Amino acid sequence: MAQQELTRLTGNGNGNGNGGGTCGEDDCPTIYRTASGSFIVQGDTSDSFQPPDGESLVEIPEAVLREAFRALGW
């Protein structure tokens, strides 16, 4: 799936600008929504524990989740 096929919910000026709205270089924590309604999270890699094969852990600020919820009207 290409990034262009995703709806960016946070960062880069979307939402109300909280939680990373000033990044702009696709290098900040953000949340995307897929056409099927699932979510893809971009953030700093976490080494809190080893997830199962094929999965990863990322860490994102609470403000980014709040921004995504606002973008969805939740």
Query: Which tens digit of pLDDT belongs to each residue from 46-69?
Result: 999 999 999 999 999 999 999 999
Best CA proximity match to 48, nearest among 36, 40, 56, 37:
56
Residue 35 structure tokens: 């056409």
Q: Under a CB-based contact definition with an 8 Å cutoff, are residues 28 and 20 in contact?
A: yes
What percentage of residues in the chain have a pLDDT greater than 70?
80
For residue 64, how many other CB atoms are within 10 A of its CB?
Answer: 24
Note the pTM of the prediction, 2 decimals.
0.73
Domain hosting 47: range is: 3-72
Domain count, the chain: 1
- Is the confidence at residue 19, as pLDDT, over 50? no
Region of 45 (left: φ > 0; alpha: ψ -120 to 50; beta: rest) is: beta
